[in-house]
Amino acid sequence: MTKDLELLKRKQKGKQKLDMYKSTFMNHIKDSVWLDLEESDGILENLDSRFLGMITEDELINSDESFIESDLMREIFMKASESSESYVFGDDFYNCGIFKCLTKNALTNAFVIAESDSGNTVFILDKDYSFYFRINFNDSDHSDTPNKIDIQKTS
């Protein structure tokens, strides 16, 4: 009963942001399919345990560069088949859900989404849990690394 009540509270909180959240992703990744909170929770429930203690790689690139400039992202892009799928989401995933799309489309559009998402962060999780990206856009007000994109890959 408590779990159902918590889910209803999250849905209510997410209602205010959901349209903007969906449009941010669906406008940039045309094949993306939104997954509601129940389905999103099922996919993400084991995420921490799957990647806990795994090796993490970091990379910092200029915000005006393309994803292909990232060694970490280019490597995954080249290995991904045309039908490989991933889950992509932003900071509001907890109340708004996640999206499923083709991996290459997620990687290609991640920087644009990070710049336009309210939290300036995009997460890409391989459908088979073989990699996980956190891509954060640091705007010009960032004190340490302004106008940079911080990429973290865990596999």
pTM tops 0.85 = yes
- Residue 46 confidence (pLDDT): 76
Residue showing tokens 């997410």: 14
Q: CA-to-CA distance for 13 and 1, rounded, in angstroms?
A: 19
**Between 86 and 51, where is the model more confident?**
86
What is the rounded average pLDDT for all residues in the chain? 91
Mean pLDDT of 102-112: 96
CA–CA dist 86, 128 (Å, integer): 8
Which residues sit opposite 135 in a β-bridge? 122, 151
Average pLDDT of the segment spanning 11-25: 94
Could you tell me if 129 and 143 are in contact, meaning their C-beta atoms sit under 8 angstroms apart? no
- pLDDT at position 48 is 73
Percentage above 90 pLDDT, the chain:
75
Q: Which of 22-31, 36-45, 49-58, 86-95 has the lowest mean pLDDT?
A: 49-58
State mean pLDDT over 11-30.
94
Between strands 98-102 and 85-90, the pairing is antiparallel
What is the residue-wise DSSP string for 1-26?
A: -HHHHHHHHHHHHHHHHHHHHHHHHH
Strand order of the β-sheet with 33-35 is 33-35, 98-102, 85-90, 121-126, 132-138, 148-154, 56-62
Q: How confident is the model at residue 139 (pLDDT cuts 50, 70, 90)?
A: confident
Asked if 151 and 135 touch (Cβ cutoff 8 Å), the reply is yes
How much is the pLDDT for 50? 76
- pLDDT for res 155: 83
Mean pLDDT over 16-35 rounds to 95
Q: What is the pLDDT of residues 51-84, one digit of tens each?
A: 766 778 999 999 888 999 999 999 999 999 999 9
